[in-house]
Structure 1
Amino acid sequence: MKDRATLLPLLGEVFRTHGYEGASLALITEATGLGKGSLYHFFPGGKKQMAEEVLAEIDGWFEANIFAPLRDPADPRAAIAAMLSSVDEYFRSGRRVCLVGVIALGHARDEFAAPVNDYFARWQDALATALRRGGLSAAAARRRAEDAVLSIQGALVLARARDDAAVFSRALSELKVRLLAA
């Protein structure tokens, strides 16, 4: 018997592969192995609720594995290095696109504006906090954090477009040097 915990990653991959708009009920039922009735039992709000819950699950993972460690005052350099390692793992070394980015670029962006904005803002804020503790001024930390998120997201897009995951790996290596130079 499937439950929400097993369904959300499956739904996430459908949205990641086809975008919110392209994630048809046929694709969702195929990926989950559930019929329409069972899907609506789990998600009475339909596809929108599915996407909201997938985004919330992603947010929870990033909060626990990226944002909270960056806000931990213990060792900002170790937290930044751990962020890069976790990002590499999560995005499968550039072979997995960012679902939040997919939604941000699609027509459904306005429908999910709050969680999309919050995800990127919290990432930048948490990284800026670590960079500040590492010695950068507030303004420099904000700029470097924005550059880091831009580099990660841009590397994901370019790695996907070029079908070359090494692009992502190189970008993370270079980003590590820039971030730890603080």
Structure 2
Amino acid sequence: MSKASVIPQLMGVFQEYGYEGASITRFSEATSLKRASLYHYFPNGKEEMADEVLDYITQALQEQLLAPLHSDLPPIDRLRAMNQNIDAFYQHGQRDCLLALLTIGEAQGLFQEQVQQALNLFIDSLATVLVTAGITPITARERAEEAIALIQGSLVLTRGLNNTATFERVLERLPADLLRPE
């Protein structure tokens, strides 16, 4: 098993337990690797694992979630394609956003810069599509920030209510809401 192949499993542990609740025992169970193997791959322990997972998420954000936003499709189609990717990435609202989980407790100080960069990448990519659709840059950025807040909030509601309806509704309405006339 390679180091790269265990990153998604580590991400699952962080998503399920948060940074503070993630432990070497849980990582070992999720990856089927012994503690010594985990420390071989990640000598600095949990912090290094989270750092690698954040790099993985940022790459996934660029290559999977946001890729449609950089296509030549009409803006509405780009947003719809992005939503399909978001739906798949968060497993129809069943997975928590690790970026949000890494802004809580001791993780916040450790990963603030990486989380901020990932969120700004998402905001900037969305805003660029809206500007190409004729929305002013200031309004485009505000709408992009609000869209991410809606997605994140719907993930919290999904978890709290054990019901994906809000997440599904947010994704369904998001493209038209983002492109509504000023």
TM-score range, shorter chain: over 0.9
| Equivalenced residues, count | 181
Name 1:5's counterpart in structure 2.
Answer: 4
Question: Among the aligned pairs, what percent are the same residue?
Answer: 39
Name 1:164's counterpart in structure 2.
Answer: 163
Residue 53 of structure 2 aligns to a residue whose secondary structure is helix
Map 1:49-128 to 2 at 5 A: 49-72=48-71, 74-128=73-127
Please give the alpha-carbon distance, in whole angstroms, between the structure 2 residues aligned to 1:88 and 1:32. 25
State the Cα deviation string for residues 39-73 of structure 1 (Å, max 9, x = none).
11111121111111111111101111233432445
TM norm structure 1: 0.93
Residue 38 of structure 2 aligns to a residue whose secondary structure is helix
Name 2:132's counterpart in structure 1.
Answer: 133
Q: Is the 8 A contact 2:158 2:166 kept in 1?
A: yes
Name 1:48's counterpart in structure 2.
Answer: 47
Name 1:15's counterpart in structure 2.
Answer: 14
Deviation at residue 177 of structure 1 after TM alignment:
2.4
Report the AA paired with residue 13 of structure 2. V
Report the AA paired with residue 56 of structure 2. E
More helix by share: 1
Q: Is the 8 A contact 1:21 1:106 kept in 2?
A: yes
Please give the alpha-carbon distance, in whole angstroms, between the structure 2 residues aligned to 1:134 and 1:85. 20
Q: Is the 8 A contact 1:80 1:180 kept in 2?
A: no
Report the AA paired with residue 135 of structure 1. G
State the Cα deviation string for residues 3-51 of structure 1 (Å, max 9, x = none).
1232111111111111111111111111111111111111112111111
Q: Is the 8 A contact 2:123 2:144 kept in 1?
A: yes
- Structure 1 residue runs without a partner (length 5+): none
Deviation at residue 119 of structure 1 after TM alignment:
0.9
Please give the alpha-carbon distance, in whole angstroms, between the structure 1 residues aligned to 2:131 and 2:19. 36
**The 10-residue stretch of structure 1 (169-178 or 112-121) with the greater mean CA deviation from structure 2:** 169-178
Q: Is the 8 A contact 1:73 1:133 kept in 2?
A: no
